[in-house]
Amino acid sequence: MYTPVKTVFSVLAVASLLIACSQKVETVAPGAANATASTIVKIGHVGPTSGAIAHLGKDNENGARLAIEELNAAGVTIDGKKVTLELMAEDDAADPKQGTAVALKLVDAKVAGVVGHLNSGTTIPASRVYSDAGIPQISPSATHPQYTRQGFKTTFRMVADDARMGATLGKYTVGTLKGKAIAVIDDRTAYGQGVAEEFSKAVLAAGGKVVAKEFTTDKATDFNAILTTIKGKRPDVVFFGGMDAVAGPILKQMMSLGITARFVGGDGICTEELMKLGGDAITDEQVVCAQAGGVEGDGREGLDAFKARYKARFGTDIQVYSPHVYDAVRVMVGAMVKARSADPAKYLPVLAATTGFKGVTGTISFDAKGDIRDAALTLKTVRAGKLETLAVIR
């Protein structure tokens, strides 16, 4: 094809101009992008927002969202610069493999910290990912002791662990409920099995008798075989280590088999959702459970105010852990402000030294392992289809 020389020079001139412009844009754009990015602090949240316990995962996510919205509205300044907090919410579906995958995703996204996961079975494997990346992780609800006993400097816990919860429930079952013959069921998850083992040890230490030990899974729906075996042992208490999604159907099938024993469990069953799942199978004072945390006296005002703000924002009542998630976000951001940096390496030592932080769940201080000091438990029962507090124990 023939092209006039004048046209060639014109084309070359335009091309040179375009190249020069693109080079100029390239030298300016990164600086502008960095200036914008420096005002954003990303905080990750992970919980099961799909699957059988999605109601608990969403409750946790809502707690994180409310904390970040309120902090942004109030204004957060780190080292003299106003920052905007951004929530990166991920779903682990209560599955360890998915939990590890989303942990890697959050690391790649360069989050400043992570609040989560909900289950011990997802929290523990994900904790290694965060530790390797040097990213602080605060679990609002994982109770297996192993979580904070791996030697990681990045792990923190907002609630009492299984050793504390199981021991308290075991002692209460024998001493206060006067349980003589106690059957134990767990769902084989890290949480369910762990709390059941601690409960059984405490029962024996208190002079009680475990007459049956059975297990199921967190996906099961038919419990007639294990309940028939348990019925033959004539228990006056059945303990379940697991979550409300399984506990509700177990209670229904206990009723159909004529098992009238007390039903005891940890924080996994201590939810308003259990009332819907168990329905008419739950009689007054039949269920006794323990929720992590607990406030008394003047502390009730702060928690009640949080519950009111939560309901106004999301149109529903809290489930269990959202106040702990809310506090975890505020503790983490507070450490950033005090350290004058959102760089994990710089604010992590400040977070680890947290002492006397006033939260809606009580006063928060961490020990050398990252466990919360002086952890409280709230024992509850069901009356007229609602959870009512029996006692707050420290």
* Per-residue model confidence (pLDDT) at position 296: 73
* Per-residue model confidence (pLDDT) at position 206: 96
Segment 55-84 mean pLDDT: 97
pLDDT band at 330 (very low <50, low <70, confident <90, very high): very high
302 and 360 Cβ atoms separated by less than 8 Å: yes
pLDDT tens digit sequence for 73-122: 999 999 999 999 999 999 999 999 999 999 999 999 999 999 999 999 99
Mean per-residue pLDDT of the chain: 90
At position 181, the amino acid (one-letter code) is A
| 57: three-class secondary structure by DSSP | helix
pLDDT tens digit sequence for 225-245: 999 999 999 999 999 999 999
Please tell me what DSSP assigns to residue 145: G
- Contacting residues for 108 by C-beta, under 8 A, at least 6 apart: none
Does residue 195 register a pLDDT over 70? yes
Does residue 13 register a pLDDT over 70? no
Measured distance CA(282)–CA(288) in Å, rounded: 11
Measured distance CA(265)–CA(166) in Å, rounded: 9
Q: Which residue has the higher pLDDT, 21 or 109?
A: 109
pLDDT band at 19 (very low <50, low <70, confident <90, very high): very low
Percent of the chain scoring above 90 in pLDDT: 82
Q: For 22-36, 109-123, 174-188, 344-358, which range has the lowest pLDDT when averaged over its residues? A: 22-36
* Per-residue model confidence (pLDDT) at position 144: 92
pLDDT band at 280 (very low <50, low <70, confident <90, very high): very high
Does residue 38 register a pLDDT over 90? no
* Per-residue model confidence (pLDDT) at position 394: 76
Question: What SS3 string covers 163-223?
Answer: HHHHHHHHHHHHHCCCCCEEEEEECCCHHHHHHHHHHHHHHHHCCCEEEEEEECCCCCCCC
* Per-residue model confidence (pLDDT) at position 14: 35
Segment 134-138 mean pLDDT: 98
Q: Quick one: angle between helices 54-74 and 299-314, nearest 10?
A: 100
pLDDT band at 137 (very low <50, low <70, confident <90, very high): very high
* Per-residue model confidence (pLDDT) at position 192: 94
Using CA atoms, how far residue 117 sits from 3, 130, 158, 199, 244, in Å, is 66, 12, 12, 23, 18
Reference 57, options 96, 89, 88; nearest CA is 89
Q: Count Cα atoms within 13 angstroms, Cβ side, for 172.
A: 25
Segment 178-190 mean pLDDT: 96
At position 247, the amino acid (one-letter code) is A
- Contacting residues for 358 by C-beta, under 8 A, at least 6 apart: 302, 364
Triad 103, 58, 272: Cα angle to 5°? 135
- Contacting residues for 272 by C-beta, under 8 A, at least 6 apart: 317, 319, 386, 387
Q: Ranked by mean pLDDT, which of 16-30, 169-183, 377-391 comes out on top?
A: 169-183
Q: What are the backbone dihedrals phi and psi of residue 353, each rounded to the nearest 5 degrees, phi first?
A: -90, 10
Joined tokens for residue 183: 């059957």
* Per-residue model confidence (pLDDT) at position 96: 96
Segment 173-177 mean pLDDT: 96
Does residue 281 register a pLDDT over 90? yes
* Per-residue model confidence (pLDDT) at position 151: 96
Does residue 37 register a pLDDT over 90? no
Domains of the chain (ranges, CATH numbers): 40-159+296-374 (3.40.50.2300), 163-292 (3.40.50.2300)
* Per-residue model confidence (pLDDT) at position 393: 85
Joined tokens for residue 254: 């206990």
